[in-house]
């Protein structure tokens, strides 16, 4: 029987030829991530069967509850990157500080991985798609121990980025800056197989994804854009359809295939937005741009932001080019671009003598 599938491993080796001086380190790093993803996938899929759902009772640096699966996924990716030997620092959503990988095999490692091991984990209790998002940089420093400065690089410096969606089927989608390719996990052979070669995002879509429950807290430009999406206009096929899973990977994956826009703007409660630049917005922005879409803060390109801190948050407008540009137009007209980072609501409230926020 002739085998017609191309596995992720075969594809990566084939693509290595695009980089004539590559020594295979990046390929091995991607392989390590894919191995951990398969292990996480196994746990996510049997989550309802074992006592792994629910809160673990600890909080991460952002004060959010960690789920058992978050912790499990975090451990698996760190373990795979440690034993793989190609990565010198991991920055993860689940850890306050960067993790230096100091194993004998990783002494000459030159890659930095920023990762959200299990994004959208509030959805794990209800069988809704969750994902892993990763971003890979080459360290800037040439000698000594790599440091936080090696991690705080612009999104344009990413050498690769990708996500894994643990959904009705499990997919790994990644880019090394030469287009986007998607692989579906075939559980019967335990391999990611090329299923979505050269993914391209429609320039215009008809789906918008945003947590509309926060409407009253949105900037005026976002409110105006939402009204634009909801107005009837046959020529532009409006009103658009609203689709929001609350799982960034799920929402963006759907919009990548069908066309659409995903927005997580600043709100009066989260003045810098909710999503993290290094391991959520930058990798997704690179993938979407490589597929022909656009990713912006509402004013500026996400990939051009100079990061200042590890867990930095930014507003994001990401998806089909024409939709993002329309939303940016509304932002320019109706919302004043703030030049300084806004004071956190908690700080403002504390200044007013209200401690512990409004909740
Ligand atoms: P998480 O990293 O704590 O899982 O949060 C990120 C998730 C995204 O996947 C999702 O799009 C967003 O948060 C949903 O937020 P909200 O519930 O505020 O709409
Ligand atoms: Mg996340």
**Domains of the chain, residue spans:** 8-196, 207-351
Ligand 1 within 6 A of CB of 66: no
Residue 3 scores a pLDDT above 50: yes
**Which residue reads 């100079």 in tokens?**
306
Which atom number of ligand 1 is nearest to the Cα of residue 130?
Answer: 9
Q: Confirm whether 8-196 and 207-351 share one CATH topology.
A: no
Task: State yes or no: cis peptide before 315, omega within 30 of 0.
Answer: no
Using the mean position of ligand 1's atoms as its centre, give its distance from the Cα of residue 77 in Å: 20
Q: 243-300: per-residue pLDDT in tens? A: 999 999 999 999 999 999 999 999 998 999 999 999 999 999 999 999 999 999 999 9
Q: What is the pLDDT of residue 358?
A: 38
Which atom number of ligand 1 is nearest to the Cα of residue 64?
Answer: 3
Residue bearing the CA closest to ligand 1, atom 11: 248
Q: What is the pLDDT of residue 24?
A: 87
Ligand 1 within 6 A of CB of 64: yes
Q: What percent of the chain has pLDDT over 90?
A: 75
Q: 18-44: per-residue pLDDT in tens? A: 766 667 899 999 999 999 999 999 988
Using the mean position of ligand 1's atoms as its centre, give its distance from the Cα of residue 248 in Å: 6
Higher pLDDT, 216 or 107: 216
Ligand 1 within 6 A of CB of 129: no
Using the mean position of ligand 2's atoms as its centre, give its distance from the Cα of residue 116 in Å: 5
Ligand 1 within 6 A of CB of 120: yes
Higher pLDDT, 107 or 185: 185
Ligand 1 within 6 A of CB of 248: yes
Apex 24 CA angle, 3 and 139, nearest 5: 140
Per-residue confidence band for 107, with pLDDT thresholds at 50, 70 and 90? confident
Using the mean position of ligand 1's atoms as its centre, give its distance from the Cα of residue 64 in Å: 11
Residue 180 scores a pLDDT above 70: yes
Long-range Cβ contacts of 232-238 (<8 Å, 24+ apart) = 237/206
Nearest CA to 166 out of 56, 70, 55 is that of: 70
Per-residue confidence band for 60, with pLDDT thresholds at 50, 70 and 90? low
Q: What is the pLDDT of residue 50?
A: 61
Question: 52-61, 71-80, 86-95, 166-175: which range is least confident on average?
Answer: 52-61
| Domain spanning 207-351, CATH architecture | 3-Layer(aba) Sandwich (3.40)
Nearest CA to 219 out of 334, 302, 312 is that of: 334
Q: What is the pLDDT of residue 55?
A: 63
| Residue 93 assigned ligand-binding role | yes
Out of 249, 275, 276, give the residue to mutate to test ligand 1, the one with the largest number of ligand atoms within 8 Å of its CB. Answer: 275
Ligand 1 within 6 A of CB of 274: yes
Q: What is the pLDDT of residue 163?
A: 98
Ligand 1 within 6 A of CB of 210: no
Per-residue confidence band for 356, with pLDDT thresholds at 50, 70 and 90? very low
Mean pLDDT along residues 335-353: 60
Per-residue confidence band for 49, with pLDDT thresholds at 50, 70 and 90? low
Q: What is the pLDDT of residue 350?
A: 59
Ligand 1 within 6 A of CB of 153: no
In terms of phi and psi (left: phi > 0; alpha: psi -120 to 50; beta: otherwise), the region of 356 is left
Q: Which ligand gives the minimal distance to the CA of 248?
A: 1
Q: What is the rounded CA–CA span in Å between residue 155 and residue 296?
A: 12
| Residue 255 assigned ligand-binding role | no
Q: What is the pLDDT of residue 6?
A: 96
Domain 8-196 has CATH 3.40.50.720: no
Q: What is the pLDDT of residue 359?
A: 35
Q: How many CA atoms lie within 13 A of 190 on its CB side?
A: 6
Angstrom CA distances, 63 to 120, 141, 152, 183, stand at 15, 32, 22, 34
Residue 61 scores a pLDDT above 90: no
Residue 65 scores a pLDDT above 80: no
Residue 338 scores a pLDDT above 70: yes
**Angle subtended by helix axes 220-230 and 321-334, to nearest 10:** 130
Q: What is the rounded CA–CA span in Å between residue 346 and residue 359?
A: 11
Out of 92, 248, 249, 279, give the residue to mutate to test ligand 1, the one with the largest number of ligand atoms within 8 Å of its CB. Answer: 248
Question: 56-65, 122-131, 202-211: which range is least confident on average?
Answer: 56-65
Ligand 1 within 6 A of CB of 119: yes
């Amino acid at each position: 029987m002739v085998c017609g599938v191309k596995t992720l491993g075969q594809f990566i080796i084939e693509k290595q030829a695009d980089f004539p001086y590559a020594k295979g380190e990046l390929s091995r790093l991607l392989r390590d991530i894919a191995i951990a993803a398969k292990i996480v996938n196994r746990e996510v899929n049997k989550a309802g069967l074992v006592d792994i759902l629910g809160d673990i009772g600890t909080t991460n640096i952002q004060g959010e509850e960690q789920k058992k699966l978050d912790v499990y996924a975090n451990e698996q990716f760190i373990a795979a990157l440690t034993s793989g030997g190609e990565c010198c620092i991991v920055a993860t959503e689940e850890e306050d500080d960067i993790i230096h990988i100091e194993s004998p095999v990783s002494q000459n490692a030159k890659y930095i991985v920023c990762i959200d091991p299990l994004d959208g984990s509030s959805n794990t209790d209800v069988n809704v798609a969750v994902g892993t998002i990763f971003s890979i940089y080459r360290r800037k420093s040439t000698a000594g121990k790599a440091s936080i400065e090696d991690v705080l690089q612009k999104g344009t410096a990413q050498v690769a980025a990708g996500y894994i969606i643990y959904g009705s089927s499990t997919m790994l989608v990644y880019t090394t800056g030469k287009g986007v390719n998607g692989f579906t996990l075939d559980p019967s052979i335990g391999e990611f197989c090329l299923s979505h070669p050269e993914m391209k995002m429609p320039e215009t879509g008809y789906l918008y994804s945003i947590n509309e429950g926060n409407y009253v807290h949105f900037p005026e430009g976002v409110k105006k854009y939402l009204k634009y999406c909801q107005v009837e206009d046959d020529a532009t096929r409006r009103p658009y359809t609203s689709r929001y899973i609350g799982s960034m990977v799920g929402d963006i994956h759907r919009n990548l295939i069908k066309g659409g826009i995903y927005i997580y703007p600043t709100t009066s409660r989260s003045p810098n937005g909710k999503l993290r630049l290094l391991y959520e917005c930058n990798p997704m922005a690179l993938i979407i741009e490589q597929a022909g879409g656009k990713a912006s803060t509402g004013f500026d390109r996400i990939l051009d932001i100079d990061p200042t801190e590890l867990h930095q948050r930014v507003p994001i407008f990401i998806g089909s080019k024409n939709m993002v540009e329309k939303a940016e137009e509304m932002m320019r007209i109706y919302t004043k671009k703030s030049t300084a980072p806004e004071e956190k609501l908690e700080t403002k409230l504390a200044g007013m003598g209200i401690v512990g926020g409004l909740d």
